[in-house]
Amino acid sequence: MESDSISHTSSPSASNCKDISRKKRRSAKLKQCKLDARREQWLSQIGAVKNKVCCKEGTNDGDSKQTQRGERDRSLENFEMRGTAEVNGEGENVSVQHESDSESFPPNSHTSSSLLGGMDSGTSFTNSSSSSTSSGGCCSGSITEEEGGDGCLDDWEAVADALAADDDKQELDPNENNKENLCLGSTPGLEPNPQLGSNGEGSDLKNSEPECPRMVQRATRSCRAWRADDTFRPQTLPNLSKQRSFPATDRRFGQGGVSWMRSSAFSVPSSCPICYEDLDFTDSSFLPCLCGFRLCLFCHKRILEEDGRCPGCRKPYENDPVEAEASVQGGSLTTRLLARSCSMIARS
């Protein structure tokens, strides 16, 4: 921390030329193997990472640079994954900067938390810097803001890795992540900065809450069996209800029908031709007339109450509706009995 802040304060105070000088200085330090080793180190310390989660999240609010940072994060990630040294210059420099940060310090998340302190507000920075006996004056405010942003970058990446690593563990408990962050937020690194703690906590709660339910949803969705009406259901899965109604269709082929109705009667209609409402499974297994004209039970009942003739062949419905299927479920059996009793009433 000391060397870090010192190096920054020693760099030109004007932020734009400082950027340029930093780029030059840090691009020289870039060594991929070193980076990877550092990353391993970082990952091994989940606690530190977690702490950074809240630090990172804590800086989200009201920072206009957040979107830029997000882009940089992505480029950083790519850069680390590919292992090539050349991605866009800025991202590189940033990551190098952080490696150097962690290099100069025991990786106990002290840097990031103190950096965040600077990030959150000038006062908090002075708090943390005073406790860490840093000589960073008020002129380092702008610098630390930059640093805070960079810190976010590195943290973000590490957090993403860590989250991916123990995703399955955390999926089970939506609050686990939260709790961890909470307790970590209250004990950040070396100095218990109350402002930082509260900041990190509050915003972390805000930010992690939408995240966790998403993960849980994913988990539940993955272990749930496909439902017939599931939109994510693969098309290749056979439709059980359709399969069950196929024998009825086959059966009807031998029985003929009214010529003008035949085209629509051969394929089981998806909707009742009378009321145009969708046929459910009970309806589509209901075959009230030998001609093969299908309709929903509701319309069948209404027709029985009126003239009692099949709309397809105009012959009066028989008392006994044709047994559509031998293997109907209990529910449809009762409805069929009901329909039969209705037709009995209509006849008598």
Partner 1 sequence: MKASRARLFKEYKEVQREKTADPDIQLVCDDSNIFKWTALIKGPSETPYEGGVFQLAFAVPEQYPLQPPQVRFLTKIFHPNVHFKTGEICLDILKNAWSPAWTLQSVCRAIIALMAHPEPDSPLNCDSGNLLRSGDMRGFQSMARMYTRLAAMPKKG
> Using CB under 8 A as the criterion, which residues of the chain lie in contact with partner 1 when the complex forms?
261, 273-277, 293, 299, 302-303, 306-307, 309, 311-312, 314
Smallest gap from residue 88 Cβ to partner 1 (A): 52
Whether the Cβ atoms of residue 131 and residue 141 lie closer than 8 Å to each other: no
> What does the alpha-carbon distance between residue 72 and residue 150 come to, in Å, rounded to a whole number?
9
Least distance from partner 1 to the Cβ atom of residue 332, Å: 22
Closest to partner 1 by CB, 61 vs 277, is 277
Shortest Å, Cβ 325 to partner 1: 23
Which neighbouring-strand residues pair with 271?
278
Of 214 and 315, which has the nearer Cβ to partner 1? 315
Nearer to partner 1, 170 or 284 (CB): 284
Distance of closest approach, residue 280 Cβ to partner 1, in angstroms:
16
* CA 85 to the chain's CA centroid: 32
Nearest approach, Cβ of residue 305 and partner 1 (Å): 9
Q: Sign of the CA dihedral 242, 243, 244, 250?
A: positive
Of 179 and 314, the one with the shorter C-beta distance to partner 1 is 314
If the CB atoms of residues 143 and 304 are measured against partner 1, the closer one turns out to be 304
CA distance 191 to 195: 11
- By beta-carbon proximity to partner 1, the closer residue of 76 and 289 is 289
Beta carbon of residue 252, minimum distance to partner 1 (angstroms, whole number): 16
Measured from the CB of residue 259, what is the shortest distance to partner 1 in angstroms? Answer: 13
Nearer to partner 1, 35 or 295 (CB): 295
